[in-house]
Amino acid sequence: MSKPNARLSPTNLKAMPKIDLHRHLEGSLRLETLLKIAREFDLNLPTADAEQLRPLVQITDDPPDHEVFLSKFEVLRHFYRSPEAISQLAYEAVADAAADNIHYLELRFSPQALARVRRFALTDVTDWVIEAVQRASRDFKITVGLIITLVRHDPLEQARQVAEIAFDYCDKGIVGIDLAGNEVKFPPGPFIPIFKQAKEAGLGVTIHAGEWASAYGVRQAVEELYADRIGHGVRTIENSYVLRMVRERGVAFEVCLTSNLQTGVVHDLTHHPLVDMLDLGLQATINTDDPRVSDCTLTDEYILAVQKLGLGYAALRQMILNAAAAAFLPENGRKRLITHFEKLLPKPESHSKNSQFRSSRVPFLYSALD
């Protein structure tokens, strides 16, 4: 890997045009907005100030454990109290991404999570999210694709209902379908027919796998669930067959550094397998996962990659181009996205002479008919 570049200061990394392929709406909620909602709806939560609420919805002094991490979302579900609240939360998630100089975002959400407490119709919450995201996309000049997430530990019938929404809304901004949740206790077998139908419908498929469980989950995701991309997948390098298979098929990996530390996937960021994944030729990308739960930005993730893993500009640029090539867009759209970032990110030899990025906020636009 290339040596750290002294020009990659936090300021320069924030100015770097970026892509985030793995960001959950439910993990992107502003603390101050949650506090406002808690007070407005008189939720049975501490609301004297944000610092009282923070430990319930954000990783603070928690032990590194995936079940502790997931427990934050059980609390967060109580804040989806009205159409206006859901719309505001979705709008702000996109605004925050744009403020971090993310030009292309794929934001995933679970309609069932947003609907559960107030028993909203799944189609209604989907409409509210789509409208808010499209409005924010226009306001902040950022291109956003939406991914609908199924959850392993939810009832299968509910998963089928949520998947049908993804199929019905694929011409309204839904670009892919995801499977998340506790991969240790809930294997993906029951979801195979759903993801076969998703692939046949032309949706992109991404599966959380190889994060808390073994590389075998990555093999299942690709061979049985038709995954184009793997959420996390850091344990792929533990199995030579899986490693060869994903490399031959060009499967992309949505790596999230801070999340992996907080869930106990790695115990020290200096030992994170991202460097090995790149050295072994995997199509790795850097993402945030749940930026407000983890209290991080994509810029923060890049800073960790530079300071803790010793990655340089060439590696960061390559991972952004990997993300562009793996975006859930029509082929022509992906080509234009790659060209967009190639223009904004100078080649490594050029960057060594000039540390400035082209920070144009002109959005990358594509036609759904491409």
pTM of the entire predicted model: 0.94
Would you call 183 a catalytic residue per the annotation? no
* Residue 130 CA: distances (Å) to CA of 101, 175, 348: 21, 12, 37
292, 25 in Cβ contact below 8 A? no
pLDDT in tens, 123-179: 999 999 999 999 999 999 999 999 999 999 889 999 999 999 999 999 999 999 999
For the domain made up of 10-348, the CATH class stated in words is: alpha beta
Band of pLDDT at residue 364, cut at 50, 70 and 90: low
DSSP letters for 252-284: EEEE-HHHHHHTTS-S-GGG-THHHHHHTT-EE
When pLDDT is averaged across residues 205-215 and rounded to a whole number, the result is: 90
C-beta contacts of 266-269 below 8 A and 24+ residues apart: 266/234, 267/64, 269/304, 269/308, 269/309
Please compute, for residue 320, the number of CA atoms within 13 A of its CA located in the half-sphere on the CB side.
Answer: 30
pLDDT of residue 366: 53
Domain boundaries, the chain: 10-348
146 vs 169: CA distance, rounded Å: 10
Cα–Cα–Cα angle for 86, 91, 93, nearest 5°? Answer: 95
Residue 312 pLDDT greater than 50, yes or no: yes
| Average of per-residue pLDDT values in the chain | 92
Rounded Cα distance between 278 and 285, Å, is: 9
Q: Model confidence over 276-290: pLDDT tens digits? A: 999 999 999 999 999
Mean pLDDT value across residues 13-23 = 97
Task: Please tell me which residue in 106, 183, 211, 301 is annotated as part of the active site.
Answer: 211
What pLDDT band is residue 369 in, cutting at 50, 70 and 90?
A: very low
